[in-house]
Amino acid sequence: MPPTDSIINSPELSEATVDRAPTAFSDSEIDDLKGELEDLLPSQARPGPEWAYGLREGMTRYNRIEGLSLGTSGTLPLPNRFSVRVEGRIGTVDREPRAVLTFYRGEPDGGWALTGYRRLDLGSDWARPLEFTRSVNNLLGGHDQGAFFDAYGGEISLVSTGRASRRTLRLFFEEHRTVSKHTDFYLQRAISPDDYMPENITALKDSVFEGEIELRGHRGVDPAGLMLSGRIVLEGGTDDLEYWRWLTSGTVALPPGRCRGGRPGHGCR
């Protein structure tokens, strides 16, 4: 039997064969290689276009400005990790078309986007009157309290994500216009016909160039332990309207019951 070091000491192998310097790639080189490899994939292996309509992704909603608003959106992947997304909708009562067009490059955990839009926007950072569940409440009970205005503009945004954080930078220019209430219809009015939905706000007809930095973070992912999350937003604007503001919020989550010697569901109540 040949000795165990016969291959290492073989005269057939030169020093150049076994003594190689490590080779490293920069992040930009790796990204370029990813794009080239994606282009080599057969068309059936690439992500295809995605469409949303009906109850998907909030494409159907109801409020006192638009009435029943029906929308659709489509996302088309492009080479080199680019994609384009278009969303369009129209209200059945105000009959005003609104649309958003976005060009995006990056991965789910970060990238940049360029967006142009005309959309129904809100004067509150906390209310969510355009979500589907709120739309159901609006249709059934007339609980539409949203402060709406039309926003026309464009923005560029950059997003980066860490292990427990997310950072977003937005620069945008937009004009604001007042929108009026167009309907008082909701199902409960059959019982109380003298009740009406509230009037909408009067928006300042102005233009503003704005910048925004948003920081999000969290700690803890075990539902049986302590979980913390927080958000800080710094925003300022200039042009017809000059302002600055900051927002912050935080969440502390604890399990409903704690005991010694185990976890809930594992001999612990």
Per-residue pLDDT of the chain (269 residues; tens, 9 = 90+): 666 666 666 666 665 554 544 455 666 677 677 767 766 665 545 578 999 999 888 899 999 999 999 999 999 999 888 999 999 999 999 999 999 999 999 876 789 999 999 999 998 887 788 888 899 999 999 989 899 999 999 999 999 998 889 999 999 999 999 999 999 999 999 888 889 999 999 988 889 999 999 999 999 888 888 999 999 999 999 988 888 999 999 999 988 865 554 455 554 54
Mean pLDDT of the chain: 85
Q: Domain extents for the chain?
A: 23-205, 218-269
> Can you give the pLDDT at residue 259?
52
Instruction: State the SS3 of the chain.
Output: CCCCCCCCCCCCCCHHHHCCCCCCCCHHHHHHHHHHHHHHCCHHHCCCCEEEECCHHHCEEEECCCEEEEEEEEEEEECCCEEEEEEEEEECCCCCEEEEEEEEEEECCEEEEEEEEEEEEECCCCCCCCCHHHHHHHHHHCCCCCCEEEEEEEEEEEEEECCCEEEEEEEEEEEEECCCCCCCCCHHHHCCCCCCCCCCCCCCCCEEEEEEEEEEEEECCCCCCCEEEEEEEEEEEEECCCEEEEEEEEEEECCCCCCCCCCECCCEC
Q: pLDDT tens-digit profile of 7-39?
A: 666 666 665 554 544 455 666 677 677 767 766
pTM of this structure = 0.74
